[in-house]
Amino acid sequence: MGRRSLRNCKLCAWECGVDRVEGELGVCRMDARPLIASKQLHPAPPASYTVFMTGCNYRCLNCQNWDIAHYPDNPEGRTWGLQDPRELAVEAVNMIETLEGRRIGADRIFFSGGEPTVHLPFVEEVVREFRRVTDVWKVNFDTNGFPTRDSMRRIVELADSITFDFKAFSDGVHRALTGAPVEPVLRNLEFLIPSHLNKIWEVRVLLIPEVHDEAEIRAMCEFLADLDETVPVCFLAFRPNFVLERHPGAPLDLLERAVEIAREVGLMNASWSGLPGLPGEVPPSVRRRAEGLVDVYGHRGAALAAGYAAEVGCSKHPRDCLSCPRSGSCPVKRYVPARRT
């Protein structure tokens, strides 16, 4: 399959069908070049040699890696460049086996981004070479949950572990935050958890105050618990970032309450992580815009997130980045925050 799948690209659930080899661009705005943004030993669980791939099929308002995800459209977008798959595989093994790699407990190569599904054929090539070089170290794939069914099966085949970002259960909240529908994400969780629970490192839920209310958190937890009560879930503390740079960080009581809700619905392995309580305040202009979007999204938290998007120029509501006439010149992708946390 490999490079051929870029000729009529349907790697993610947008299924744009563009010929990336010929330079056509879909929602992710990436051509056929598998550009690496950065590489480093990283202690965050699972400890690894992490390869951050450039580009993303989402346009999240809260993106912490916005300069990677929104390359080449963002004025401050950055990339490291191209690398031969075998060279990267050998480099990863060598770095894992360094003194520093052993000190942090690194035991795998970890593909992140952006969204590495955008470059799935390249990741597969690297993993094939990685398996030839070592039968000791592992592979982790970090995803936003938006691959197609076929791509998700390919990810399961190549990965020893999967970290899965579950951003919302309600379609309105998910669209407001990411610009994408939630159905493919729920479908992939329904595929992964019952059949491949052993490969899920954890499902990660970033909690954004006022956007994720108790009802939304409970809906997410109930959905996961219905699939398997033992699935590991980690609630992450939102910190002000990107378009949401002025929004308040997640308070400690929100994180603790999320864990309580998870346990109330039967989830056995729920925890939280991050730095809670970073200061911020919703701008009055965003609240005014949000009031006009409540009926559109049917959820006040979704409307608040959409208010931030509208504030920077997003005019398609509910957000849908595939059908948006400004998809190729998206004001969200071009946003440069003043605040970085």
pLDDT at 68: 97
Residue 218: the pLDDT is 98
User: How far apart are the C-alpha atoms of 269 and 262, rounded to whole Å?
Assistant: 9
User: Can you tell me whether residue 35 is helix, strand or coil?
Assistant: coil
- Helices assigned H by DSSP within 28-114: 66-69, 85-96, 99-104
Helix (H) or strand (E) holding 295, with range, is helix 294-297
**What confidence score (pLDDT) does residue 341 get?**
76
Neighbours of 34 (CB within 10 A): 24
- Distance CA(250)–CA(48), nearest Å, equals 27
Residue type, 67: D
According to the model, what pLDDT value does residue 340 have?
A: 79
pLDDT of residue 1: 56
Mean pLDDT, the chain, whole residue set? 97
8, amino acid identity: N
In this prediction, the residues of the chain whose per-residue pLDDT falls under 50 are none
Q: 3-state DSSP: the chain helix, strand, coil percent, rounded to 5?
A: 40, 15, 45
pLDDT of residue 276: 98
Q: What is the pTM of this model?
A: 0.97
Peptide bond into 114 cis (omega under 30): yes
What is the model's pLDDT at position 255? 98
CA atoms within 13 A on the CB side of 147: 25
Provide the sign of the torsion angle of the four alpha carbons 147, 149, 154, 158, taken in this order: positive
Residues paired with 50 in a beta bridge: 40, 110
**Which pairing describes strands 48-53 and 36-42: parallel, antiparallel, or unpaired?**
antiparallel
> Which CATH number among 1.10.357.10, 3.20.20.70, 1.10.3720.10, 3.40.50.1820 corresponds to the domain 2-283?
3.20.20.70
- Give the model confidence (pLDDT) of 158-190 as tens digits: 999 999 999 999 999 999 999 999 999 999 999
Question: CA torsion, points 275, 277, 282, 287, in degrees to nearest 10?
Answer: 100
CA–chain centroid gap for 49, Å, is: 18
